[in-house]
Each structure stands twice: as structure tokens, then as C-alpha cells.
Structure 1
Amino acid sequence: MKEFLMTTYTIVLPILMGYIVWLLKEQKKTRDANSAGTLCLLRDKLMFYHDKYTDKGMIPPYALENWEKMYKAYRELGGNGMILGMDAEVRKLPLEH
């Protein structure tokens, strides 16, 4: 009986480990795709906010708060580039009352 269990263990364990590795790789692909999509959506919304409020010459406090949260998430997801300059411009805008 002990020999049967050892044989079964040595056969089943590598198969199970291989399956777990495959699952983890698939989950990583999904997470990477979700992160890339989120990054694109955040960049689009940040550009929209930038254009809207710089054209207006001021920004409401709630919009600035949204900007800050979106910008933080964008940076944490690895976003960079032109949005960095836009962030400086948006933060210089006077608050609308």
C-alpha cells in the first residue's frame, strides 16, 4: 500500500504543480490585460480633464480631487510621459468656487 501511495504521489504531484503554474500564468495574462486597459482609460480621462479645465482656466475642487485620484492610480500602474506635464498644469489652475 505504501508503495502504491508513493507511486501515485510521484505521478500526481508534478501534474498538479504543472496545472497550478499554468493557472497562475493565465491569471497574470488577465491581470496584465486589465492593467493595460485601465491605464488607457485613465490616460484618456486625464487628458479630457486637462483639456477641459485648462481651456476653462480653473477647476472645481471635486474635479481636482478626481484628477489627483486618477493621476495617482495612473502612476501606480506605470503610466508616465506627457501626463506628468499635464499634472503640473492642472495643479496650477485656480480653484473654481
Structure 2
Amino acid sequence: MEQLFTLAGIAIGSSGLSAIVVAILNHHWAKKKNSSGKLDALVEAQKVLMIDRVRYLGSSYIHDGEIALEDKENLAEMYQAYKALGGNGHLSTVMAEVERLPVAEKR
């Protein structure tokens, strides 16, 4: 009979312990998920900033009718970084127009 009480005590104690462990793990995972959400938000914010900057610079160069080689390379790098972050085709038209621009002579 004593063994039965011991086994019952172990079963109740282990289920209580497992409930605590599960609660701690759930809290840890929820916290980690929130951090991931913040990281996703930062990536999205960076993409929006890159869209704005590449579009603005590209439009400026298109308006000028030419682009310096260094500026063209920098713009291409920004565009590649944007695409690496998962950017879609928002900038493909601007970049196609920039590609057609003549390279400005050094001054």
C-alpha cells in the first residue's frame, strides 16, 4: 500500500513538474516569437526605406539624363541588397531606366 502512495505521489509530482516545464518552455517560445516579429518588422522597414531611396535617386538621375559610374554602382548595390531582403519588383522599372542612362564624364 505504501508503494501505491509513493507511485501516486511521484505521478502527481512529475505531472506538476512537467506542467511547470511546459509553462516555462511556452513562455520562452512566445518571447522568442516576439523577437522574431520585431526582426521581421525591421527587415520590412529597411525594404521600405530602400524602395524610397533607390526610387528617389533613380528618378533624380533619370531627370538629369546621366549618372556617374560610382553612383550607378552604388545604386545597383542598394538594389541587390533590397532584393536579397526579399524585395519584389517595385524598383525594376526605375533600375531598367537607370541602366539605359549614359555614364557621366568625370569632372
The TM-score normalised by the length of structure 1 is: 0.82
Match of 2:4 in 1: none
Identity of aligned residues (%): 26
Task: Give 4+ residue runs of structure 1 displaced > 3 Å after superposition.
Answer: 5-9
- Who wins on radius of gyration, i.e. which is larger? 2
How far the C-alpha of 1:64 sits from its partner, in A, is 1.2
| Aligned-CA RMSD value | 2.0
Alignment of 1:33-48 (within 5 A): 33-48=41-56
Alignment of 1:3-18 (within 5 A): 3=10, 6=14, 9-18=17-26
Give the AA of the match of 2:100. K
Moved more, 40-49 or 57-66: 57-66
How many pairs are equivalent? 95
How far the C-alpha of 1:82 sits from its partner, in A, is 3.7
How far the C-alpha of 1:21 sits from its partner, in A, is 1.0
How far the C-alpha of 1:78 sits from its partner, in A, is 2.3
How far the C-alpha of 1:6 sits from its partner, in A, is 4.8
Structure 1 residues 46-92: Cα deviation after superposition (integer angstroms, max 9, x where no partner)? 11111110111111122112111110111122222341111111122
Q: Using the alignment, how far apart are the partners of 2:51 and 2:90 within structure 1? A: 10
Q: Using the alignment, how far apart are the partners of 2:76 and 2:56 within structure 1? A: 14
Alignment of 1:58-97 (within 5 A): 58-96=66-104, 97=106
How far the C-alpha of 1:16 sits from its partner, in A, is 2.0
CA distance 1:15–1:82, shift in 2 (3 Å): closer
Gaps of 5+ in 1: none
